[in-house]
Amino acid sequence: MATDPDCLFCSIAAGSMGVEFVYADADVVAFRDIAPKAPVHLLVIPRQHFRDVRELAGDPAAGAALLAGVAAVAEQERLPYFTTVFNTGAESGQSVFHVHAHLLSGSGQIWAHGG
C-alpha cells in the first residue's frame, strides 16, 4: 500500500496523529472535519495515498472501497440523507492533497441543493 510520509492524511490514516476515527476498516478511515460546514461533516479517506479523484480513478478497486466506506459511515451514523463532495485541485478548495470525501448531513449544508 502506497503512502506518502509527508502527507497529513496518510499520517492520520496510520493512526499516528491521535485523531479519533468514527469508522475504520482495512481500506478507509473516517473522522470529523475540524472546520465543519454542516451539523454532520465527516471526512472519509483511503488508507492508501492518492492525490485526488483523477489519481484514484486509476485504481477502480480503491475507488469502490472509498465509496463503500462512505456508505458504511452513513449507515453507521444513521444518516437518512447526505451529500458527498470531492474537491480536486486547489482552485476547487482542496487543501490536503490526499483524496477525501466530505460527507455532510443536517440543516445548513452549503452543498445541499442544486443538482
Give me the pLDDT at residue 107, please: 74
Compute CA distances 10 → 71, 108, 115, whole Å: 21, 30, 32
Q: Is 100 one of the annotated active-site residues of the chain?
A: yes
pLDDT, averaged in runs of 10, over the chain (115 residues)? 93 95 98 95 98 97 98 97 95 96 82 46
Is-contact 23 72, C-beta < 8 A?
Answer: yes
Distance CA 62, CA 111 (A): 25
Q: Which of 49, 98, 100, 102 is catalytic?
A: 100
The full set of domain ranges for the chain reads 8-105
CATH code for the structural domain at 8-105: 3.30.428.10
Q: What is the DSSP letter of 77?
A: T
End-to-end CA distance of the chain: 35
